[in-house]
Structure 1
Amino acid sequence: MDALFKALSDPARRILLDSLRSTDGQTLQQLQGQLDMTRFGVMKHLGVLEEAGLITTKKVGRFKHHYLNALPLQEAIDRWIEPLLVKPAARAVLDLKSKLEGHETMTKPDFVMQTYIRCTQDALWAALTEASAHAAYNFMCQDVRRDGDTLHFQTPDGNEMLVCRETALDPKTRIASTFEPKWAPGVPVSQIVYLIAVEGPFCALTLEHYNIPPAAADGIADGWARTLSGLKTWLETGESAKFLSPQVQ
């Protein structure tokens, strides 16, 4: 928590975060244009933000892309401001195979979020693959059922909200899936990837989301912050956690 507030205390670092909030996935060269300082100076600020968990990076070819990671801020807000809501719900990911099979390394994700969870690799894998587990922490869905390689998410009123079809599984380390929204007509299918890495008693979970429709970007980012916060809380406490938005409380 100290690293978080230290990172936020500098106005230059807040400018970098604001820039990533506006346009995620920028390179060092793009971000350098936001500040009147040397390339090395910007790199130092980005290092502080990454150490605090406020940004995460992905290298594609020769370029490193930087992404705003909202989870540390969300967790700080949840700790002191937001009440923990326990209520049936769930949320998830949409549908399509395309670029995740063979071209993924050539494409940068539109959105990246990372969190560290005190749990075993087996427990995190089960939480991401078992339908009943999704229903314990997903913030919008009451019921989740599996049909082969596909997860169907339903809201408390029985309507289908989301369909996710797994397109690639590397046991306990990587899940690629489609993300097909059903909550609004005409929202195109996008793709997500979960990456799991063990770091001592913790698991580092990275979520990458590809081909997000621009009009849906803000809502999807907010949804992931609530879903992954619920996942972390559930795995670390054993209690079902639903971080509902004010619009659905």
Structure 2
Amino acid sequence: MDSVFKALADPTRRLLLDRLREHNGQTLRELCERLDMARQSATQHLDILVRANLVTVVRRGRERFHYLNPVPIQEIDERWISGFDKPRLQMISAIKNQAEEYAMTTETVPNYVYVTYIRANAEHVWKALTDADLTARYWGHSNVSDWQPGSAWEHQRVDGSGIADVVGQVVEAEPPTRLVMTFEDPANPESSAEPSVVTFVVEPHQDIVRLTVTHEKLANAQAFADISDGWPAVLANLKSLLETGEVLPQAPWEMSRVDA
């Protein structure tokens, strides 16, 4: 928490966060152009934001894209803000959320990026993402595929019906560090919307891994809101399973924002 407050104390770093909030997923060159800042200065400030976990770097080829990570801000809200005047703050937040949702209906829907750290090795995380029995435990659905590039995959219910609530195609599979796949709603096969794309990046470091989930090409603001609730819940359950051998006592996605 100290590193987060230190990072936020500098007006230049707050400006960098503002620019990423306006347009998430920028390269260093794009950030420097928008801020009229030397690359060296921007790099130093971004390094501090990355160490504070306020910014996540996603590599694609030679490019490094910078994304906001909302988790530390949420922790500040829970620890230092919500407890003081929660009802009034919730009302203000509701107004703010409505304004942001309206804004997103008239602008490009941003990509969603979430980062979590797990006490496990890369092979265990990969298996948790691709093994049908394990996904059934922490996700409530079985992810079924042979996980070869070009193959189909299904997010099947565990009630024995065989119904898939999400389907898609495996775009890339580089075990145990990178998995890319499309997400589509099989209930709407004639939709002209381009399927969204999810990328899992598993980065091992000694006894832990950093798991970065990027969800791109979202159809609209409602889709962004839905996955913003869904991914943190699913990944919290995955983390609990790998670190303790058990999922959380209750399904975290059943909690509403108000309950949280």
Q: TM-score, normalised by structure 2?
A: 0.66
* CA drift at 1:240: 1.1
Structure 1's 112 and 178: CA in aligned 2 closer, same or farther, altered over 3 A? Answer: same
How many residue pairs get matched? 219
- Residue aligning to 1:86: none
* Counterpart amino acid of residue 144 in structure 1: S
Classify the secondary structure of the residue corresponding to 1:219: helix
CA distance in 1, matches of 2:144, 2:124: 18
Corresponding residue for residue 200 of structure 2? 194
Greater Cα radius of gyration, structure 1 or 2 = 2
Counterpart for residue 24 of structure 1:
24
Letter in 1 for 2:234: T
Which runs of structure 2 are paired with 1:145-160 in the superposition (5 Å)? 146=144, 148-149=146-147, 150-154=153-157, 160=164
- 1:178 is aligned to 2:182: yes
Give the CA deviation at 1:119: 0.8
Give CA-to-partner distance per residue, 1:1-29, whole Å, 9 cap, x none.
Answer: 33233223334323322332332112334
Q: TM-score, normalised by structure 1?
A: 0.68
Residues 247 and 48 of structure 1: CA distance in aligned 2, closer, same or farther (over 3 Å) = closer
Contact 1:13 1:49 in 2 (8 A): yes
Tell me if the contact between 1:155 and 1:161 (Cα under 8 Å) persists in the aligned partners. no
Report the 3-state secondary structure (helix = DSSP H, G, I; strand = E; otherwise coil) of the residue aligned with 2:184: strand
Is 2:140 the partner of 1:136? no
Code of the residue aligned with 2:210 in structure 1: it is A
Q: Does 1:237 align with 2:237?
A: no
Secondary structure in 1 matching 2:246 = coil
Quote the residue 2:70 is aligned against: 70
Shift of 1:196: 1.8
- How far apart in 1 are the matches of 2:30 and 2:36? 13
RMSD of equivalent CA atoms: 3.7
CA distance in 2, matches of 1:78, 1:240: 23
For the 8 Å contact 1:162–1:181, the answer to whether it is kept is yes
Q: Is the 8 A contact 2:165 2:185 kept in 1?
A: yes
Counterpart AA for 2:170: E
Which amino acid letter does the alignment assign opposite residue 115 of structure 1? T
Cα deviation digits, residues 63-97 of structure 1 (max 9, x gap): 5321112344456778898xxxxxxxxxxxxxxxx
> Higher helix proportion, which one?
2
Cα drift, residue 195 of structure 1: 2.0
Gaps of 5+ in 1: 82-108
SS in 1 for 2:242: helix
1:102 corresponds in structure 2 to none
Identity fraction in percent: 38
1:246 corresponds in structure 2 to 256
Per the TM alignment, residue 247 of structure 1 is displaced from its structure 2 partner at its CA by 6.1
Question: Higher relative CO (CA 8 A, sep ≥ 6), structure 1 or 2?
Answer: 1
Give the secondary structure class of the aligned counterpart of 1:163.
strand
Alpha carbons 1:196, 1:204 under 8 Å: kept: yes
SS for the counterpart of 1:246 is coil
Q: Are the counterparts in 1 of residues 156 and 166 from structure 2 also a CA contact under 8 Å?
A: yes
Q: Which runs of 5+ in 2 are unaligned?
A: 83-109, 148-152
| Distance across 2 between alignment mates of 1:17 and 1:229 | 25
Equivalent residue letter for 1:239:
E
What one-letter code is carried by the residue in structure 2 that aligns with 1:224? W
Distance 1:4 1:111, change over 3 A: same
